[in-house]
């Protein structure tokens, strides 16, 4: 390759070609190009351009989306991005596999990450003025140009989308929401995260809580809608589980009481003959989580003292495997034949 030769853009999936078009000062030096030589190539009307400090684009036209992503990662990384196959820093011009999983010290996050994850409610990469990149707090690095630095105590494990190291959806969602003041935009993002099966509501709320975003009224309102949406989806999966895996029909959404006595709690499904109950655990990780879990535990202990088996199922488990959860419930129903009869309770619609 001649360093004076402009390189034509390729589609996002061809990141190996991007690595030939976007190079750092150190990578150019490895090919014998000095800093002065690189600056000469970037003179007005020259064949190259400096897209970010220490990062060069080896053609004169506007950068493509993938070139901007790669440039931001090179700018934020301590060293050249590693070769996905070997973990060794990539050399200019080297071919790269399409499904890398190397370690990295910088991740694309925020709106750009959500777009890469497949969100339809986020802008296309071409229309983003800036690209959020996640680094650890100890890094001495400032935002510059299209690279917006976002800091975290510990980098999450990266996801790789078309070879790009990207923050997981819950973290990317929190970083995107942190920059939004419009309640409708926040609600659209959170709703798509759940409806599109990008993440569970609890995971999203956990990240929003850690980012201290639940002090913002428009975020709290969106989170309430998110949790309601997540529960509806989980209930629908529970109905499907019973129907598709041939479980006997339960009574749905009921309250249990002792005859003439206190309220025992609400349940999502109950099989009176077998004294087996299912409750969806849709707790959100907020500040009162410990108190809420204590309430769950007290109810379960009380019901089990009365001989009622309680199966707790999380939305995540239903999403990951209906058949496995159906087996858990079926096993509990079959085991009822080997237990002493449960206490009589009154079943009321909830």
Q: Which domains does the chain have, with CATH numbers?
A: 65-85+93-179 (no CATH), 239-349 (3.40.960)
Q: Report CA-CA distances (Å) from 72 to 108, 213, 220, 241, 282.
A: 8, 26, 32, 45, 38
Written as six digits, the tokens of 308 are: 């009622």
Closest CA relative to residue 246, chosen from 346, 347, 322, 156: 322
**Given strand 22-24, what is the order of strands in its sheet?**
22-24, 55-57, 49-52
pLDDT tens over the chain, length 350 residues: 444 443 333 333 333 467 678 999 998 998 889 989 999 999 998 999 999 999 999 999 899 999 999 999 999 987 554 443 333 344 333 333 333 344 588 999 999 999 999 999 999 999 999 999 999 998 888 999 999 999 999 999 999 998 899 999 999 999 999 999 999 999 999 999 988 889 988 889 999 999 999 989 999 989 888 888 888 889 999 999 999 999 999 999 999 999 987 888 899 999 999 999 999 987 655 545 555 556 777 888 889 999 999 998 988 888 888 999 999 999 999 998 888 888 899 999 98
How far apart CA 30 and CA 27 sit, in angstroms, is 5
Closest CA relative to residue 134, chosen from 150, 156, 112, 118: 150
How far apart CA 40 and CA 313 sit, in angstroms, is 63
Q: Report CA-CA distances (Å) from 209 to 113, 151, 171, 229, 287.
A: 20, 16, 11, 18, 8
Read off the pTM. Answer: 0.73
- Tell me the CA end-to-end span of the chain in Å, nearest whole number: 72
Written as six digits, the tokens of 206 are: 């956990």
Closest CA relative to residue 48, chosen from 30, 74, 25, 82: 25
8 A C-beta contact, residue 136 and residue 105: yes
Question: Which DSSP symbol is given to 303?
Answer: H
- pLDDT digits 0-9 by tens, 235-279: 999 999 999 999 999 999 999 999 987 888 899 999 999 999 999
């Amino acid at each position: 390759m001649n360093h004076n030769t402009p390189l034509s853009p390729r589609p996002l999936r061809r990141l190996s070609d991007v690595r030939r078009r976007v190079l750092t000062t150190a990578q150019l030096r490895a090919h014998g190009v000095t800093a002065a030589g690189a600056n000469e190539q970037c003179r007005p009307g020259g064949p190259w351009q400096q897209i970010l400090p220490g990062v060069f684009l080896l053609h004169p036209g506007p950068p493509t989306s993938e070139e901007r992503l790669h440039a931001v990662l090179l700018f934020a990384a301590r060293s050249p991005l590693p070769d996905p196959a070997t973990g060794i820093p990539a050399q200019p011009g080297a071919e790269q596999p399409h499904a890398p999983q190397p370690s990295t010290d910088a991740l694309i996050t925020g709106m750009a990450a959500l777009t890469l994850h497949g969100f339809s409610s986020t802008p296309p990469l071409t229309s983003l003025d800036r690209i959020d990149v996640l680094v650890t707090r100890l890094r001495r690095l400032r935002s510059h140009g299209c690279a917006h630095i976002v800091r975290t105590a510990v980098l999450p494990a990266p996801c790789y989308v078309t070879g790009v190291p990207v923050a997981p959806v819950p973290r990317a969602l929190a970083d995107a929401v942190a920059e939004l003041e419009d309640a409708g935009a926040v609600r659209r993002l959170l709703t798509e995260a759940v409806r599109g099966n990008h993440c569970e509501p609890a995971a999203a709320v956990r990240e929003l809580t850690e980012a201290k975003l639940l002090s913002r009224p428009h975020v709290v309102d969106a989170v309430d809608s998110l949790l309601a949406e997540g529960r509806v989806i989980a209930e629908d999966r529970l109905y499907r589980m019973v129907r598709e895996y041939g479980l006997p029909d339960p009574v749905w959404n009921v309250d249990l009481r002792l005859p003439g006595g206190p309220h025992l709690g609400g349940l999502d499904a109950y099989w009176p003959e077998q004294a087996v109950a299912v409750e969806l655990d849709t707790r959100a990780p907020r500040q009162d989580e410990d108190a809420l879990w204590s309430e769950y535990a007290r109810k379960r202990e009380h019901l089990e003292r009365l001989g009622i088996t309680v199966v707790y199922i999380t939305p995540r488990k239903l999403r990951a495997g209906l058949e496995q959860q159906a087996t858990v419930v079926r096993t509990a129903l079959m085991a009822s034949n080997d237990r002493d009869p449960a206490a009589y309770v009154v079943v009321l619609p909830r």
